[in-house]
């Protein structure tokens, strides 16, 4: 599917200047990813027929040993795709000649799962050496991660190549951060050819996994009390959050983003937003911002209709996985070790 088909036009609620801003962004995004990525479902059917089983087995072990690993792999895939497209660039280690993405502000001390990726790659290299790209492997692993914690299944188009470069600066600018306002968040998804609907559905990934205190301190000492309903349970929840995340220090202390069911992929994340108790400011913005007309309706829809959420999440994950730089098919490679380009 051409990305232009899902670069949704701006909605009427946006003011005139924002409308023009998003129009330009949409056009820019379409130009960036104008062609259909040449990905197919049966890409490895003759060269590595067991690829899906191998990845699934490794992911089963990883998630069994710690359910958070599902969340960490899903996030790795997202952070890969938003920087140069899904090309395994996020997996590259720093070397003398290459500045990787792992130390970019959104990634450092935060991204996890690299050893799991190494383990899957080792298995694939012994079964079908030099065949399966790290980018494809990560895309399959992210799909399996979601299924293993109760989420939806989708078919994964394959055939991505691994980049021979990474971009610290794009990792710094393209990835959304929790302190950003709704319009900035939307613009970062539009830039990638993803729509407002894609953004709200994909943010539902926060139904699993953890966040560090440094990323929600301003929220819990800021407008949490304003957005949340006033009731004793909320008061207790907030005071627990504060005791795990003091005003100073404890930056790396972690808390689940979905306190109802932190290890289950379900729609309770959206129900938390309806209660005004989103942990990240960026998540609560989708429901509580004054500009949140379209996003608010989507949050309500997914809170009440888990099937609609699963369907949209699957579709949006395929779209996100299809973000590719056309050049990567010419200049890319299949890395032997996901941490380093081939010599």
Distance of CA 261 to CAs 67, 75, 78, 146, 169, Å?
A: 12, 18, 22, 14, 35
Q: Does 178 bind ligand HEM (CB under 6 A)?
A: yes
Q: Do the Cβ atoms of 52 and 33 come closer than 8 Å?
A: no
Q: Does 138 bind ligand HEM (CB under 6 A)?
A: no
The catalytically annotated residue of 77, 79, 155, 229 is: 79
Q: Does 110 bind ligand HEM (CB under 6 A)?
A: yes
| Residue 79 annotated among the catalytic residues of the structure | yes
The b/e string for 138-163 (b: 16+ C-beta within 10 A; e otherwise) is bbbbbbbbbbbbebbebebbbbbbbb
Q: Does 176 bind ligand HEM (CB under 6 A)?
A: yes
Stretch that binds ligand HEM, among 34-42, 64-72, 95-103, 239-247 (CB under 6 A): 64-72
What's the rounded Cα separation, in Å, for the pair 61 and 119?
11
Residue linked to tokens 């990638």: 192
Q: Which of 212, 242, 296, 301 binds ligand HEM (CB under 6 A)?
A: 212
> Cβ atoms within 10 A of the Cβ of 248, count?
6
Tokens of 251: 């930056």
Subset of residues 297 to 326 that bind ligand HEM, contact rule: CB under 6 A: none
Q: Which of 112, 123, 275, 336 binds ligand HEM (CB under 6 A)?
A: 112
Q: Which of 10, 22, 26, 68 binds ligand HEM (CB under 6 A)?
A: 68
Nearest to 44, CA basis, from 169, 135, 118: 135
What's the rounded Cα separation, in Å, for the pair 328 and 333?
8
Residues 263-292: x/- map of binding to ligand HEM (CB under 6 A)?
Answer: -----------------x-x----------
Minimum distance of ligand HEM from residue 331's CB (angstroms): 26
146 annotated among ligand-binding-site residues: no
Distance of CA 226 to CAs 145, 235, 277, Å?
A: 35, 12, 10
Q: Does 337 bind ligand HEM (CB under 6 A)?
A: no
Which residues are the active-site residues? Answer: 79
Contact positions vs ligand HEM (CB under 6 A): 68, 71-72, 74-75, 78, 110, 112, 176-178, 185, 199, 202-203, 205-206, 208-212, 215, 280, 282
């Amino acid at each position: 599917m051409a990305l232009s088909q899902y670069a949704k036009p701006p909605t009427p609620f946006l003011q005139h200047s924002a409308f023009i801003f998003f129009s330009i962004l949409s056009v820019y995004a379409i130009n960036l990813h104008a062609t259909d990525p040449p990905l197919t479902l049966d890409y490895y059917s003759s060269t590595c027929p067991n690829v899906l089983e191998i990845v699934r087995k490794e992911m089963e072990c990883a998630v069994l040993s710690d359910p958070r690993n599902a969340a960490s792999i899903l996030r790795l895939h997202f952070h890969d795709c938003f920087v140069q497209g899904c090309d395994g660039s996020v997996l590259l280690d720093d070397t003398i000649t290459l500045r990787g993405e792992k130390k970019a502000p959104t990634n450092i001390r935060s991204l996890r799962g690299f050893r799991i990726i190494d383990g899957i790659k080792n298995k694939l290299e012994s079964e079908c050496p030099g065949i399966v790209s790290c980018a494809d492997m990560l895309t399959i692993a992210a799909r399996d991660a979601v299924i293993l914690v109760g989420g939806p299944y989708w078919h994964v188009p394959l055939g991505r190549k691994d980049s021979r470069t990474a971009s610290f600066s794009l990792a710094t600018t393209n990835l959304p951060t929790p302190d950003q306002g709704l319009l900035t968040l939307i613009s970062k998804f539009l830039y990638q050819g993803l729509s407002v609907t894609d953004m709200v559905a994909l943010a539902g990934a926060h139904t699993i996994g953890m966040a560090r205190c440094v990323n929600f301190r301003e929220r819990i000492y800021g407008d949490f009390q304003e957005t949340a309903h006033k009731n004793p349970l909320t008061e207790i929840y907030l005071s627990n959050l504060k005791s795990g995340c003091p005003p100073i220090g404890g930056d790396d202390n972690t808390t689940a983003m979905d306190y109802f069911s932190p290890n289950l992929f379900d729609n309770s994340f959206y129900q938390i937003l309806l209660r005004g108790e989103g942990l990240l400011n960026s998540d609560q913005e989708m429901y509580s911002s004054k500009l949140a007309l379209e996003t608010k309706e989507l949050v309500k829809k997914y809170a009440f209709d888990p099937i609609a959420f699963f369907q949209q999440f699957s579709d949006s994950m395929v779209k996100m996985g299809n973000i590719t730089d056309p050049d990567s098919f010419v200049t890319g490679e299949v890395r032997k070790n996901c941490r380093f380009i081939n010599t």
